[in-house]
Amino acid sequence: MLWIFLIILLFILIIMRVPIAFAMAFISLLGIMASDVSLLANVPRSIFSGTNSFTLVAIPLFVLAGEIMARGGISERLVNFSKIIVGPIPGGLALVVIISSVFFAALTGTALAAAAAIGGMLIPTMLREGYDKGFTTSLIACASTIGPIIPPSIVLILYGVIAGVSISDLFIAGFIPGILMALGLMVYSIYIGKKNNYVIKRDEKITVGVFLKYFKDAILALLMPVIIIGGIVSGMFTATESGVIAVFYALIICIFVYREITMKDILDVLKSTAYTSTGIIFLIGSAAIFIWYINYENIPNQLMSVLGFAAENPILLLLIINIILLLAGTFIDTISAVTIFTPLFAPMIVAAGIDPVHFGIILAVNLTIGMVTPPLGVCLFVVSSIAKQKIPAMFKHLFPQVGILILVLLAVTYLPSIIMAPVKFLNG
């Protein structure tokens, strides 16, 4: 069957480091020409329809909001407030990393932003306090994976657009898995903290006054996710409209309240946002051709036939998909993987009676784990460059932490009520 050859060719091209947008477009055009050259007339129409989505406007908006916040002094305030929360708990600075990542996730929705901002601030501090370098870097990388799970999440927005699933439901469903990931990493951090006597050293005593001081400094940053998610859940505005609110809110507090962004910074932020967003939209256009081709050839149904009885057994089907996604995540970046696997697996999931919102969270958790697994592991590269640490030196602590994230993945996969209960409750 031609489609099997083309899928294999796609992964060969990816392994050869051909940009995924070009690889998907190439194999799609190859398949279309092999079927019927006249079908090429559908290509520009597919690209236009795939990118002509109001919901997709949310992606550059949240990228822009995240860029503004990353440069606007918010990360420092979140870290300081996190230090007050954890107090004298063993492994305190490690817990600060995780709590800050949760806060940062609710502001930017991206793992790389969290890894860069929190890593840049806390890696030098943790090393000065005597923390093991391998533990420090691996923890910051793993904690950053919470970013694409807790809303707002670019990964969930993209999945929702491709699969035709409610973005609001995906955002609601993402909270509990993100919190479970954070709690799992906290347990491990406390264990390492007790074992190595890692305790935060303070110059000031924690009092109600001190707590309120840092809380007041961070409250404006902490209010943003409350406003955005509260507005979406209440129906006051859509996910796309919430992106506009996020941008204006970020500009107001970073320019007029914190006063840490200048006009020159705004120009740099706009350039960076344009660069990132253009790459994502170009990828979506290529994915639109790919989606049209696999639907034309009825590939999802053929894939179900190849999988045989497993396609009719939800437990076995999810196990196979999890294995495929975990392996793929080691060498394909998250955004690209969503555009490839969503159209392939979504029809199978629906046919097996699995809720597409549930599957969206499974997909997101799977692929974010790939961000901290070699050889790609983009978050590993970010923190290793900040700490000037070789990636193999992280493995001792990285593998237990990835194991914790996989346990959360299994819980999310086979205990769907964990994530679907809030969605059903809020939807009445």
How many residues make up the chain in this entry? Answer: 428
- Extents of the domains making up the chain: 26-426
Q: Which residue has the tokens 């822009």?
A: 64
The pLDDT of residue 378: 76
At 359 the pLDDT is 95
**Cα–Cα distance, 380 to 364 (Å, whole number):** 18
Query: What tokens does 266 get?
Result: 């705004």
Successive 10-residue mean pLDDT values, the chain, 428 residues: 81 82 89 86 85 82 80 76 77 85 73 77 82 91 88 87 89 91 94 84 67 81 77 77 85 85 84 84 86 83 72 85 85 82 88 92 92 79 84 89 95 92 82
Which pLDDT score is estimated for 42?
84
Q: In the numeric block, which tokens belong to residue 389?
A: 């640490």
Instruction: Supply the pLDDT for residue 128.
Output: 81
* Residue 180, burial from CB neighbour count under 10 angstroms (0-12, 13-18, 19+): buried
